[in-house]
Amino acid sequence: MISLSFSVPALVIAFVITVTEMTEVVALVFALSAEAGRIRTGALGAIAGTGTIAAVALVSGAALEAVPHADLLGVSAIVLFAFGVFLFRSTLRSYRRAARPSTAPAPSTQHAAHFAGGFTVGAIEATEAVIVLLALAAGGAGTSALVGALAGGAVLIVAAAIVHERIRKIKVPTLKLGGTSLLFSFGVFWGGEALGFSWPGSDLILIPMFFVALVLVRGAVALRLSYDRPVQPKG
Q: Are 97 and 103 in contact (CB under 8 A)?
A: yes
pLDDT, tens digit (0-9, with 9 covering 90-100), for 19-71: 877 777 887 777 766 665 667 777 888 888 888 888 877 776 555 555 566 77
Q: Check: CB of residue 81 under 8 Å from CB of residue 187.
A: yes
Contact between 173 and 98 under an 8 Å Cβ cutoff? The reply is yes
Q: Residues 202-215: pLDDT tens digits?
A: 778 888 998 999 99
**pTM of the entire structure?**
0.59
How is the chain split into domains, by residue range? 8-228
> Following CA atoms 161, 167, 172, 175 in sequence, which dihedral angle do they give, to the nearest 10 degrees?
-110
Task: HSE, CB side, 13 Å, CA atoms: give it for residue 53.
Answer: 25
